[in-house]
Amino acid sequence: MTNEKGITLIALIITIIVLLILAGVSINAVVGDNGVLSNAQKSQVEMEKAKFIEDSGMAYDDIYAENLEAESITMDEISEKLINEYGYKEEQLIKIENKNIHLSDNKVRLRPNNQKEITVTLGDDIVNTYFVLIRGKYYKINFDKSDINLSEGQDSIPNEEVLKTTIKSGNDIITTGLESGKVTIEGKDGQTGKAVISVSYGVLEELIDVKVNELLVDIGDVTVDGKVLENDWQYFYDDETDVYLIYDDYLENSAIPRQGRIVVDGYRVYMKSGEGDRYLLTYYLNNNKTWKGFSDGVKNAIALKGVTINGDVTTVGSPDLELFKKSFDKIYGVSRFEIKYFESGDQNVDSIIKAPGYLYRLNGEENYSDKTYIDSNKKVFFPHINKWNETWGYWLTSLSAVGQGEICYVDSVGCLNRRPYSDDDRGVRPVVKIPKSNELTELLKIDEIE
């Protein structure tokens, strides 16, 4: 009897399937999105982009060397040099001419269900936009003197000179219009957040920064010591005589007022004025003179809105807990906070000035603590917390004010301390008190706040 060796039909099928799988893996490794060919093409594109930037820089230097007295060099001149001397083809370098876009406002602040109308006009001035065609994609050329770079590649260039509006981020924002040269922006009910709207004409684009928050007030740009603050202001509290506005975010480092210099004496930290006087840092936080630039800035911004303020505008670096309690209770319509201040015999009791040196709890809780309470939609939150929402300290002075890599702060038990600077420290939110009037109430739309 002879032994017959061979393979069965099932084994043959399995072998074919395995070979097909291996072939698929190999093909994908070569031609897939992250395959050898794809990566090679991407590398080639990056090389050609880098070569274009380098060639453009050399063309700029050539033109400048030929005319040292030239006040400016245009992209048209660089394009001509690239075509004539660097081997580029005319169809590679594209110039698009569009009329410039002008917006009546590029920063919109809304309450939910409120609207703002932006007027869009086209100027008589022509703006040239340049593209380079590299391997089937168009790259916008950003040109500033000798600094040349390329934007993200796109498959085509818009060739219709039609006004369009597009929501780039924040889908809860509603936009209508533009047929009549106006666009209406509306925030949906309950929305809190930011959005960016694009208004385009051909290849040109202008952006509108939109923010929706039920406590935001529109007082325009506030300038302090010649610098426009980055963020906005929101309603905090009002009574029969005054309105309080709080900065919408933590104060940027560059805007923190500098007053005197820091003096460290043991664990005590002082602010020393030019006259040699020593002040505890709580004085710095609560001293209206320190924050006078904010008072003037807010007053001037409101005046530009057509509202005259009769009386003094004052500012402190952060609300004390009593004012915060009033704000919280008024906005939510219920008294929720109980405050316990430190009494005689507690640590550093002589340094406690309202805001630092307290514990608190919500009604019904068993123990007092210094933890942070934050509303789910962040309508109100404590102004002195770090990124973990802990309330252990105020950031009173910046790194540059101290000069030795430390910040000075007052912690929640009233101790004045210093510590190494880190990104975990957040800062302060100034509060401005403004004399109340019917015109101011109408401008700030206080009656709409629920």
Token representation of residue 4: 């017959």
- Label residue 403 by pLDDT band (50, 70, 90): very low
202 and 96 Cβ atoms separated by less than 8 Å: yes
| Both structure tokens of 7 | 């393979």
Average pLDDT, the chain: 76
The DSSP call for residue 92 is G
State residue 309's pLDDT score. 94
Q: What is the pLDDT of residue 401?
A: 46
What integer pLDDT is reported at residue 439 of this predicted model? 94
The predicted pLDDT at position 395 comes to: 55
Annotation: CATH topology of 95-212: Immunoglobulin-like (2.60.40)
Residue 396 has pLDDT above 60, yes or no: no
Residue 187: other Cβ atoms inside 10 A: 28
- The pLDDT-based confidence of 388 (bands split at 50, 70, 90) is low
Is 80 exceeded by the pLDDT of residue 31? Answer: no
Q: What is the pLDDT of residue 389?
A: 58
Three-state DSSP state, 305: coil
- CB proximity list for 218: less than 8 A, separation 6 or greater: 109, 443
pLDDT tens per residue, range 413-422: 555 566 665 6
pLDDT band at 267 (very low <50, low <70, confident <90, very high): low
Per-residue model confidence (pLDDT) at position 1: 46
Residue 308, pLDDT score: 92
Helix (H, G, I), strand (E, B) or coil at 143: strand
Tokens encoding 295: 């008072």
User: Measuring CA to CA, how many Å separate 369 from each of 219, 362, 374?
Assistant: 36, 10, 14
Out of 177-191, 253-267, 336-350, pick the least confident: 336-350
Question: Of residues 296 and 174, which shows the higher confidence score?
Answer: 296
pLDDT surpasses 70 at 7? no
User: Can you tell me the distance from the alpha carbon of 410 to that of 281, in angstroms, rounded to the nearest whole number?
Assistant: 7
Please name every residue paired with 208 in a beta bridge, in sequence order, or none if there are none.
197
In the predicted structure, residue 402 carries a pLDDT above the cut 60: no
Instruction: Please give the Cα distance from 322 to 307 (Å, whole number).
Output: 29
Tell me the C-alpha distance between 418 and 411, whole Å: 10
Task: Tell me the average pLDDT across 98-118.
Answer: 86
Domain ranges of the chain: 7-88, 95-212, 216-448
